[in-house]
Structure 1
Amino acid sequence: MFRLTSRPIFNIHKKYHLSLASLLHRQFRHSQQNKNGHSKYDGYWNLQMQQPTPSPYLQSPSHEGHNTDIASTAVNTNSPEEIKSVMIDGELIPPKPVFPDNCCMSGCAHCVLDIYQDDLKEWKEKTDRVRKRLLNEGKPLPPILNDSAEEADDIDPGIKAFMELEKKLAETSSQG
């Protein structure tokens, strides 16, 4: 019933593969060319390029006819109670630094909390220096300097602990 052949099966598949590939290649080549031997798409693209450009594309964009009163509002980047630098007795006192709310808590090399802490330290030193000088001279203290003396830390305890940890790590890395 079954007969063993001496021809390997691989050769049958190889011949089939080659004949199928050549058949597909021939069909593809003939489908891309017309009877004259030219590509079927040459005329199409040439005709497309020869067509006149539609008039809306020739006109420059204008905003006439558009509603200029678009539903949007300007974003106020300055807070209403923003305090600018104040000149006290010939010395410029910068505004108190604003606590940052964009810390990622990942221990960055240039953490915004470290920068805030440095700015706050400089601000306190400057206000304390001016306050002491005014008290020594017997001059009345401006309300800005009175407020800074009674300042209460309104920083979240978790953030405060993180800031202290960052400060300790920075000190140990600078020493070692």
Structure 2
Amino acid sequence: MKMSDTREIKADRATVWAALLSPEVLKECVPGAQEVTGTPEDGFEATVTQKVGPVKATFNGTVTLTEMIEPESLTLSGEGKGGAAGYAKGSADVRLEESGTGTTLSYDVEARVGGKLAQLGSRIVDGFAKRMADQFFTRLQEVIDGPSEDDPEPEAEKKGWLKRLIS
């Protein structure tokens, strides 16, 4: 499964770059993440619980950052094993470009699954992979930008914490 999209983030490239390298931000952005530890140089260890169709599993895996050209582009690659549920692998090529209102983040994602997950059928798995990528980059945008005007108040307080931390 392959997909591409673009996000407009209201922050400079250096801020977006720093967010992509932060284990705290990754934990906040990866749907179902229970723990993310490590460094950009050595890679990150992650524990993620997800439900794909009728299969719910906890995946233990790694995320590595390669092809890093600061602050322009990088590749995030991940692999997780979910026991009897199978495995998931994926990568995202991320590009950052200055724009009039901040940074344009473009990404190309490729995802693969095996084991029980692969038996669910491509429609369910493809929909899940697309939803995971959308949620990750939407959360990244929210963490950096802060709340939008139509956000409910309690949730709005959590968003934008990275920008407040850096300011």
Larger of the two Rg values belongs to structure: 1
TM over 0.5: no
Higher helix share: 1
Higher strand share: 2
Range into which the TM-score falls when normalised by the shorter chain: under 0.3
Greater RCO (CA < 8 Å, at least 6 residues apart): 2
TM-score by length of 2: 0.21
